[in-house]
Amino acid sequence: MAKEFDVVVIGAGPGGYIAAIRAAQLGKKVACVDAWVDLDGKPKPGGTCTNVGCIPSKALLQSSEHYEQAQMHFAEHGIEVGSIKLKLDTLLGRKNTVVDQNNQGIQFLFKKNKIEFIVGTAQFVGAENNRYKLSVSAGEKTIEIDAEHVIIATGSEPRALPDLPFDEKLVLSNAGALDIPAVPKKLGVIGAGVIGLELGSVWRRLGAEVTVLEAMPEFLAVADAQVAKEAKKVFAKQGLNIEVGAKVENVKVNDKSVTVTYKTAKDEEVSAEFDHLIVSIGRIPFTKGLNPEAVGLKLDQRGFIEVNEECQTNLPNVWAVGDVVRGPMLAHKAEEEGVAVAERIAGQHGHVNYNTIPSVLYTSPEIAWVGATEQQLKKDKREIKVGTFPFMANGRARALGDTTGFAKVIADKNTDEVLGVHIIGPMASELIAEAVTIMEFKGAAEDIARICHAHPTLSEAVKEAALAVDKRTLNL
Ligand code: FAD
Ligand code: NAI
């Protein structure tokens, strides 16, 4: 007999487990199926984000930042620590502990919300009487389940270069890049996107000589151009060697190294040997093992599950959220879609505002933005006013000893509505939340400027940038 549920969620990443919790809160009988287990078969719910994404990368960024601070900046504070030794095993072990804590936290949440957590790979078997039949296999064991609604949250996987599969020893995806057993002397990275810059920064701080090869002629083209320019300058000063306009022509995997041959932007051929090569050139949707054909579930040409703006697929009561559907591949976007879908299933009016999804790079300095860039708005011929304020003129940043970067507020010239906020500097990841709130309420630059911000805080830089929109900064 198949086990029956109101809602079956496939995938326990941020899209899936959050959708399961919200559906359970709304009174549905819910199961969440996830295939991720460790080498001992222990379940690891949380998806890419928890296991090989957001959480472990932030743990390594934090540890490596402490290491760099201790080496380069403690002395300015009058703290002498003698010789500093890196224990990479401990550092990686701490990262694994943080991941484990998150895996356990999600299992606790499943129990708390009376969600049945099923470990295994779910596949569609068929549909009958407006219900979907699925099977879940784990090793030799297979169980049948049956649901009125199915939410697919199967996520994404790293994109490999043609003819260069990941071996996770020399050629690394994000998973291998989070677990290099010894700090490489020379580390190559293909792709100067979010992973390349975050994980490139981690290994540079730990002592590797890092070269990042980026195909596009422009650095960080997705960000505001002024922010990207500042970022490139700062990363170069830190010693991250970024080559834009690099065309990778050949990658040879040797016994203990990888040789990459590429053409530079000036058309010069370069051959470089690295101890490891991280390939971070984007991610692709993951639907392997789902057997969409059994029910006629439609994928688009790029392999994403096709959905409308409400995350409905071509099949009634089958929904899809997160990295496996269009839109930015971000954990918080997946979560928002998961909540909205659960609410729609329960007859409510869940909504995701795709215009106010923040983007963050957890490098140092951090980079965060929400809304449109100046170059986009100019291209769209919007009349705008721009205000910027440097952290150099912010008291808290000076006290922290971290004055790199600036906050930038872009507002409509006539209505003063905030259209985009871009921050490069300390704690930009936290500062951006205020901008998201203001934009969600369709607020104006003057609203930010008139709100009382605590002193001394970094958030005063955002307020001053809003004042700068009207050319009336107080501290510059
Ligand atoms: P996933 O998290 O990929 O989860 C999908 C789950 O479905 C997996 O557990 C998988 O095992 C399971 N699954 C797949 N098929 C089946 C099946 N047939 N049956 C059962 N289970 C199945 N985003 C941010 O917002 N902030 C960050 O700081 C950030 N850092 C990142 C760092 C790295 C290195 C990487 C790689 C990504 C990062 N991301 C970050 C992106 C983020 O991880 C993803 O956007 C997010 O995990 C997507 O969530 P999801 O639920 O759609 O899918
Ligand atoms: P990405 O899309 O951020 O960057 C990929 C980069 O590789 C681009 O700059 C692209 O121009 C370049 N590229 C593509 N093909 C290339 C080639 N052949 N040679 C050289 N360069 C090439 O993808 P990335 O870094 O792999 O990350 C995947 C996803 O994971 C991102 O879309 C992001 O949403 C998510 N992520 C989010 C994080 C965050 O929110 N802080 C952190 C890490 C990942």
- For ligand 2, the distance from its centroid to the CA atom of residue 60, given in whole angstroms, is 18
Instruction: Give the Å distance between the CA of 231 and the centre of ligand 1.
Output: 27
Amino acid making up residue 249? E
From the list 257, 282, 275, the residue with the least C-alpha distance to 196 is: 282
Cβ of 36 below 6 Å from ligand 1: yes
Q: Count of alpha carbons within 13 Å of 433, Cβ hemisphere only?
A: 7
Residue nearest to atom 36 of ligand 2 (CA): 194
Nearest residue to 421 (alpha-carbon basis) of 449, 457, 380: 449
Output the pLDDT for position 434: 98
State the distance from the centre of ligand 1 to the C-alpha of 120, rounded, in angstroms. 16
Q: Is 397 in the pocket of ligand 2 (CB under 6 A)?
A: no
**CB of 216 closer than 6 angstroms to any ligand 2 atom:** yes
Query: Ligand 1 atom closest to Cα of 120?
Result: 20
Query: Please, which residues bridge with residue 262 across strands?
Result: 248, 270
Q: What is the pLDDT of residue 5?
A: 98
Q: 351 an active-site residue? A: no
248 lines ligand 2 (CB under 6 A): yes
Reduced to 3 states (helix: H, G, I; strand: E, B; else coil), residue 53 is coil
Which of 66, 73, 351, 455 is catalytic? The answer is 455
Which of 58, 195, 333, 366 is the best mutation target for the ligand 2 pocket, counting ligand atoms within 8 Å of the beta carbon and taking the most? 195
Packed helices 194-205 and 54-72: angle between N→C axes, nearest 10 degrees: 40
The number of the ligand nearest the C-alpha atom of 196 reads: 2
Strands 30-34 and 3-10: parallel
CA distance 216 to 353: 29
Distance, C-alpha 304 to centroid of its chain: 18
CB atoms within 10 A of CB 400: 14
Which ligand 1 atom is at minimum distance from the Cα of 58?
A: 28
pTM for the model: 0.98
Name the closest-CA residue to atom 45, ligand 1.
330
192 lines ligand 2 (CB under 6 A): yes
Q: Is the dihedral of CA 314, 316, 321, 324 positive or negative?
A: negative
Q: Enter the tokens of residue 318.
A: 């089958």
Quickly count: other Cβ atoms within 10 Å of residue 191's Cβ: 22
Q: Is 190 in the pocket of ligand 2 (CB under 6 A)?
A: yes
Q: Is 302 exposed, middle or buried (0-12, 13-18, 19+ CB in 10 A)?
A: exposed
SS3 at position 274:
strand
Q: Give phi and psi for 420, each to the nearest 5.
A: -170, 145
Backbone angles phi, psi at 373, to 5 degrees: -85, 165
Q: Where are the beta strands (DSSP E) in 301-383?
A: 318-320, 359-361, 366-371
Centre of ligand 1 from the C-alpha of residue 156, in Å: 6
pLDDT at 398: 98
In this structure, the residue with its CA closest to atom 7 of ligand 1 is 11
Ligand with minimal distance to 95 CA? 1
Q: 452-455, long-range: CB within 8 Å, 24+ apart, which pairs?
A: 455/395
Distance, C-alpha 92 to centroid of its chain: 20
pLDDT of residue 91: 98
Pocket of ligand 1 contains residue 51 by CB under 6 Å: no
Q: Are strands 131-138 and 141-152 parallel, antiparallel or unpaired?
A: antiparallel
Ligand with minimal distance to 49 CA: 1
Partners of 209 in the beta sheet?
A: 186
Backbone angles phi and psi of 253, in degrees to 5:
-95, 115
User: Which residue type sits at 357?
Assistant: I
Whether the CB of 56 sits within 6 Å of ligand 1: no
> Of all atoms in ligand 2, which is nearest to the CA of residue 361?
41
Is 164's C-beta closer than 6 angstroms to any atom of ligand 2?
Answer: no
Tokens of 76: 């300015």
Q: Which atom of ligand 1 is nearest to the CA of 36?
A: 11
Residue where the block lists tokens 């990207």: 228
Q: Name the nearest CA neighbour of 186 among 197, 170, 162.
A: 170
Residue 411, strand partner residues: 385, 418
Separation of CA 448 and ligand 2 centre (Å): 32
Distance 293 CA to ligand 2 centre (A): 30
The closest alpha carbon to 122, from 148, 152, 149, belongs to 152
Task: With a cut of 70, list the residues of the chain below it in pLDDT.
Answer: none
Q: Is the CB of 199 under 6 A from ligand 2?
A: no
Q: Which residues contact 28 (CB under 8 A, 6 or more apart)?
A: 5, 6, 7, 149, 342, 345, 346
Average per-residue pLDDT for the chain: 97
> pLDDT tens, 348-381?
999 999 999 999 999 999 999 999 999 999 999 9
The per-residue pLDDT for 1 is 80
